[in-house]
Amino acid sequence: MHDTVVDAFMNSPGGLAQADVLGAFLEASSMVDLQDRLALGDAIVADRERAVAGLAAAKARLDVRARTLDGALAAQQATVQELRVAQEEQANALASEQAALAQLSETRDRIVTLIARLKERLHAEDVAAVARAFQGADHVSYGDWANLLLRIFSAPTCRENRVVVVAWQVQEFTQAAWNPLATTHRMPGSTDFNGAGVQNFISLEQGLEATKETIQNGWDVYGYGAIVTSLRRCADASTTATKIAASSWCSGCVDGNYVVGVVPKVEADLETYSSL
């Protein structure tokens, strides 16, 4: 028994204190009891070693996961930063575009004011030159086109209707051929005027038909029917303008003031605007 205890004491793993071996010897009632106690100690030490190894492996896995998450987080942060930069660039581009449109609108208003002031001294060809600058070569005057569109939809050519339809054209301020409301509805032989798909039409009749079809196709789903209903009632120009702004024709444009903001200008000088 003496040799057994000495061997156990000298060979006991670091996880089991030598004092425990000595305690097992002192407390053992027999050799068999001592061997059982020492076997139990070895089992406990083995369990501890396995637990330590398991913890080390778990820590290694967590370290790898942490590095992976750190990399993913860094990539996410880089993506978010790229998105912010893109949003800032988009906002700057939009601000520049809005500033350019505002400047264009101011220039247009000054020209109209000048024509109104000098109309007694201007020749017809002078006004026609301004109209071409406004609408391009293929057009009729805002006033004539307004009358034609109103007749297509069996709406009266009352002053309120003329004001709002002229204002609608002025708001678009496009040079697309025979297309003063800038519809993107394609017709046989029509071509793209710009990247948004606004069409150049081959004739006045085709342009009017394309505008009619655009409105009819969006009668309910795009809210265009409410515009025509308002025109047929000869509602106030501002009321019909509100219907246009609420439709999908140019949803959200000009901060919701699409056409609405132009009506007062046209109302103040319908004659001059109609002549262009």
| 23-49 mean pLDDT | 62
89: left (phi over 0), alpha (psi -120 to 50) or beta: alpha
Mean pLDDT across the chain? 82
Show the 3-state SS of 250-276.
Answer: CCCHHHHCCCCCCHHHHHHCHHHHHHC
Entry pTM: 0.66
Looking at residues 214-231, what average pLDDT do you find?
A: 98
% of residues, the chain, pLDDT over 70 = 71
pLDDT at 186: 98
The count of other CB atoms within 10 Å of the CB of residue 25 is 18
Mean pLDDT (whole number) for 20-32: 57
* 71 against 263, higher pLDDT: 263
Paired tokens of 103: 């400047």
| pLDDT-derived band at 31, boundaries 50, 70, 90 | low
| Mean pLDDT across 212-231 | 98
d(C-alpha 112, C-alpha 189), whole Å: 34
- HSE-CB at 251 with a 13 A cutoff on CA atoms is 5
Q: Model confidence over 144-185: pLDDT tens digits?
A: 999 999 999 999 999 999 999 999 999 999 999 999 999 999
pLDDT confidence bin for 92, thresholds 50/70/90: low
Query: From CA 167, how far away is CA 175, in angstroms rounded?
Result: 15
Give residue 241's identity as a one-letter amino acid code. A
Calculate mean pLDDT across residues 112-118.
76
- Classify strands 191-192 and 199-200 as parallel, antiparallel or unpaired: antiparallel
The percentage of the chain sitting over the pLDDT mark of 90, rounded to a whole number, equals 48
By CB atoms closer than 10 A (0-12, 13-18, 19+), residue 125 is exposed
The mean pLDDT value for 36-60 works out to 69
Residue 196: the pLDDT is 93
Taking only the tens place, the pLDDT of each residue in 182-219 is 999 999 999 999 999 999 999 999 999 999 999 999 99
Query: pLDDT band at 127, cuts 50/70/90?
Result: confident
Predicted local distance difference test score (pLDDT) of residue 47: 62
On whether the CB atoms of residues 44 and 20 are closer than 8 A, the answer is: no
pLDDT of residue 40: 62
Q: C-alpha dihedral over 218, 205, 238, 235, to 10 degrees?
A: -90
Residue 1, pLDDT above cutoff 70: no
